[in-house]
Structure 1
Amino acid sequence: MKESQTIEFKKSLAERKEILETISAFADSKGGEIFVGIDENKDGSVKKIVGIKIRGKEIENLSNEIKQNTNPVIYPSIEVKKIKEKSVLVVEIKESQVKPVFVKIDRIPVAFKRVGKANQKIDVNELRQILSEGKEFLWDSQICEEATLEDIDEEKVRWFLKEARKQRGLKILEEAHLEEVLMKLKLLRNGKLTNAAVLLFSKEPMFLQSEVKCIRFSGNKPVKPYIDFQTLEGNVFDLIDNARDFVLRNIRKAIWLVPEKVQREERYEYPPDAIREAIVNAVVHRDYGSPSKVQVRIFDNRIEIWSPGTLPKEISIEDLKKEHSSIPRNPLLFKQLFWVKYVEDVGSGTLDMMDQCKEWNIPEPEFEHITGSFAVIFKLPPVLEDLHRLGLNERQKDYAKDYAKE
């Protein structure tokens, strides 16, 4: 056995930088295996099998490090093999359906290719050529190699079918065989599950980047200590619903005195439906090729919902404030959420958010690009201004403020 187009030797896990370079090179070429625990000669032949000692969560940590430092995210197969009675770590990398694959080297994204037994950095001109000539592969339609039908939560699938029939008249029988259902929904290709199928129906989370980070900050700056913090995991439906619940748990209810009504009305200081719409959009339209996570950030004076990735090139921020077409980044995932009325397919989501904010008498949401993410920002409603406008005395104001915090 010698180093080649598809085989690389590394003496130890301390060669992290070189391992990451090889992962990019294999993913951008024909795939390959990295053998950690083998010292090589200059000609690439085996000099000595030194082996390695695996401690604690070393394999899990390596896997997570690879996922966090590759874009699109690479999911390696890692196992320990015995070679001449020595333990050798074998990292298998498959050819990526989406190229080029970048790795972070000293925090800088770089792409490599495999030439013979060497890794070669892809220069700018070659990157342009790859991007212009390459076919566009949609992340949600790609095959999830490590997933099987046993990973699918059949009860969740049955719930989906029942709800989709009720909401949109989906004509797939609830009692249909699981494999048949997934094929009809285009979530199963050639007997293999797509990434969208895993996001929607897996029993356990399989994509680290699909988590949603929810934070309630104290004050108006993103600094510790946090009032509340939660990392949400699970299928897409649970992520959306639980993120909305986190927001409602961490914002106040306000008192509204409505003319011609005797009883006062209570409502949240932000419109819940607009918040939910922003969360749905963040989850369904995010760039799943990025290791970053959706973030829900609550401050004293605003709520920010961050989604990894930017708007499609066909749509500008100004377009979001008027009628515009719907261009889903993840159309297969989007279609399933459409069936159960989590989304519409007419590009109306941002306009609905704006209308709901107007109804709530708060500023329209702001849309921004922030450090590689798209953000929707809701500003605090002028609750205290309303108290002054209503002409309440100081005692009534104090009561209203205390009640609003409950």
Structure 2
Amino acid sequence: MSEAELVQILTRGEDSRHQFKREAHNADSIAAELAAFANSGGGRLFLGVGDDGQIVGLDAANVRRVNQLLSNAASQHVRPPIHPITHNVQTEHGVVMVVTVPDGLSKPYIDNHGRIWVKNGSDKRHVTAREEIQRLFQRAGLVYADVIPVTGTSADDIDEKAFAAYFTRRYGQSSEVAGQPLSQLLQNLGLGDGHELNLAGLMLFGKRPQRYRPAFEVKAVAFPGLVLHDSRYLDSEDIGGTLLEQYQRSFAFIKRNLHHIQADRGFNTLGQLEIPEQALEELLVNALIHRDYFTSASIRLMVFADRVEIISPGHLPDSLSTEAIRHGATNRRNPTLTEHAVHILPYRGLGTGIPRALHDWPTIELLDEIASNQFKVVLPRPQLPSETTPQVTPQVTPQVGDLLAAIRGEQTRTELMDALQLNDRKHFRVAYLQPALDAGLIAMTIPDKPNSRLQKYRITEQGQALLAKRH
């Protein structure tokens, strides 16, 4: 590094990759800086530079002293030892020692006091949150979220019918023939420790997984417009259950909130989904299996007028990038979950899911949002010709269209819900009934008494015209 290159870096100021220190006298302090860099992607420490970026320099004696201090700090005050690279840059004010710390391969790096340091902007901070410490150990391959025991669970929390079907399908014999108690079978398969279930066992075969891990579900919302902060919504569902149940219900949610296109199919057929089903399938499974289960947050599934977003807790592991996974690179964040999910979900486990989804829908965006600790997949929706499918608006949604098609004369709310095979009264009111009333597509038979027990609904002329146009 030349002096000109050094000055150019210093003028940009400190950040999470560049730290300035006028001098160094304490091995523990230097060790904390080295550990923070090693735990946070690496960086450079500039010794002989003030906080304002002005070079003060080190003389020859100080260079020798700091070199010895640095060597001692890196080898004796950090566990495991760190191996920084030093480079001395001569300036008119003296020597600036540039200490390069590579991203650590054996995270977490801990100081002599048992503290874990990470970078926090241009500063560093002591990690105390359990989830963050667990993620550091996960990156080092020392612990995985899916095999951590779930306190309070036992084999009694297993859906024995689902587990027996899985066991027979995978091993060609019934679990009863195996001649071992359920708790032992679960332990043999890595789904428990003989006493408690681990997270993989709970999420794959638990009767009620959200009883113990309420955040591990999918929160799905369909909006009429383009923005998240829209107070209106067309459809919403909190989707719990096992991973298979979450996958099935999430897929159903997407399908009922997207258009079907006739394309070259027959007039009386349902048509194909506007976004290829296989692309959606691959991305949903990817989110459920590869999310960060050390982060107590839900997967978010959002359908907007112009796109579908699938947001998974946890950014990509350090060894991966969005470009790498586009080409099939993979990192098994939850290896036990992955091993069994291959036989339960439409998942192959070969790192081919993202490439297949991109092949089917090339406009997919992959966003690794490190600051918010999440991974987002955005699937743009196609602009459909108006003569093929009406534009989705708050007034004319697929749900409203289904309601118009279901009405026969004058019908009560219960009769309409039965015709649409719906059970949730709130969902029916919010997603179907109220939007149709607001748009003037249906009307009450007793408008001056909206809450009357005798209330019925009929289609209006405007609704009939719209229905005729749709067909």
- Output the TM-score relative to the length of structure 1: 0.58
Higher relative contact order (CA 8 A, sep 6+): 1
Alignment partner for residue 238 of structure 2, among 231, 237, 243?
A: 231
Q: 2:252 aligned with 1:253, yes or no? A: no
Deviation at 1:264, TM superposition (A): 8.0
Match of 1:301 in 2: 306
8 Å CA contact 2:365–2:379 kept in 1: the answer is yes
Distance in 1, Cα, partners of 2:271 & 2:469 = 9
Q: 2:202 aligned with 1:198, yes or no? A: yes
8 Å CA contact 2:220–2:237 kept in 1: the answer is yes
Deviation at 1:228, TM superposition (A): 0.5
Deviation at 1:134, TM superposition (A): 8.3
Match of 1:384 in 2: 385
Match of 1:220 in 2: 226
Distance in 2, Cα, partners of 1:331 & 1:233 = 22
Distance in 2, Cα, partners of 1:138 & 1:314 = 16
Q: 2:310 aligned with 1:313, yes or no? A: no
Deviation at 1:314, TM superposition (A): 1.3
Match of 1:290 in 2: 295
Deviation at 1:345, TM superposition (A): 2.1
Distance in 1, Cα, partners of 2:127 & 2:336 = 31
CA deviation digits over 1:165-218, x for unaligned, max 9?
Answer: 3xxxx3553324422331231112243321111111111122022111000011
8 Å CA contact 1:196–1:333 kept in 2: the answer is yes
Deviation at 1:386, TM superposition (A): 9.8
Q: 2:349 aligned with 1:348, yes or no? A: no
8 Å CA contact 1:253–1:404 kept in 2: the answer is no
Structure 2: gaps (5+ residues): 1-106, 116-123, 390-465
Distance in 1, Cα, partners of 2:268 & 2:314 = 46
Change (3 A) 1:291 1:125: closer
Deviation at 1:342, TM superposition (A): 2.7
Deviation at 1:125, TM superposition (A): 5.8
- Output the TM-score relative to the length of structure 2: 0.50
8 Å CA contact 1:257–1:264 kept in 2: the answer is no
Amino acid at match of 2:332: P
- Based on CA coordinates, which of the two structures has the bigger radius of gyration? 2
Distance in 2, Cα, partners of 1:404 & 1:290 = 48
Structure 1: gaps (5+ residues): 1-97, 101-111, 114-122, 358-362, 389-400
Change (3 A) 1:135 1:351: closer
Which of the two has greater strand per residue?
1
Alignment partner for residue 280 of structure 2, among 275, 280, 283?
A: 275
CA deviation digits over 1:265-321, x for unaligned, max 9?
Answer: 821111122112111111111111112210100001100000000112111101122
Match of 1:145 in 2: 151
Change (3 A) 1:292 1:351: same
Alignment partner for residue 182 of structure 2, among 174, 178, 182?
A: 178
The DSSP-based 3-state class of the residue aligned with 1:203 is coil
Distance in 2, Cα, partners of 1:328 & 1:239 = 20
The DSSP-based 3-state class of the residue aligned with 1:208 is coil
CA deviation digits over 1:30-56, x for unaligned, max 9?
Answer: xxxxxxxxxxxxxxxxxxxxxxxxxxx
Change (3 A) 1:294 1:405: farther
Distance in 1, Cα, partners of 2:469 & 2:320 = 39
8 Å CA contact 1:216–1:298 kept in 2: the answer is yes
Query: What's the C-alpha RMSD, in Å, of the aligned pairs?
Result: 3.4
Q: 2:178 aligned with 1:187, yes or no? A: no
Distance in 2, Cα, partners of 1:211 & 1:282 = 11
Deviation at 1:231, TM superposition (A): 0.5
The DSSP-based 3-state class of the residue aligned with 1:367 is strand
Amino acid at match of 1:339: H
**How many correspondences in the alignment?**
263
Deviation at 1:384, TM superposition (A): 1.8
Task: State the identity as a percent.
Answer: 24
Distance in 2, Cα, partners of 1:142 & 1:173 = 27
Change (3 A) 1:265 1:245: closer
Structure 1 segment 1-400 matched on structure 2, within 5 A: 124=125, 136-163=142-169, 165=170, 170=171, 173-175=174-176, 176=178, 177-204=181-208, 205=210, 206-222=212-228, 223-257=230-264, 266-324=271-329, 326-357=330-361, 363-370=362-369, 371-384=372-385
Deviation at 1:375, TM superposition (A): 0.9
